[in-house]
Amino acid sequence: MKKNMGLADKIVRILIAAVVAILFFTHVITGTLGVVLLILSGIFILTSLVSFCPLYLPFGLSTVKKEK
């Protein structure tokens, strides 16, 4: 897997995941929507850790800075 996520992209995903987790565990978001958002947050954390987003691949997207 070639990395296709830059630092800013990873930070934004981790922050979004943290906010969703806090809202879920403080019962601000509940039910099916809460569970779906929590699962999506887990995916955000996982993709941030491996620096690879499979959804970027078919579109040829990359947020990694190009080296000169």
Amino acid at 14: I
Q: Where are the domains of the chain?
A: 7-54
Report which secondary-structure segment, H or E, holds 50: helix 31-50
11 φ/ψ angles, rounded to the nearest 5 degrees: -65, -45
CB 1 within 8 A of CB 43: no
pLDDT at 27: 96
> pLDDT tens track of the chain, all 68 residues?
789 999 999 999 999 999 999 999 999 999 999 999 999 999 999 999 999 999 999 998 999 988 76
pLDDT at 5: 94
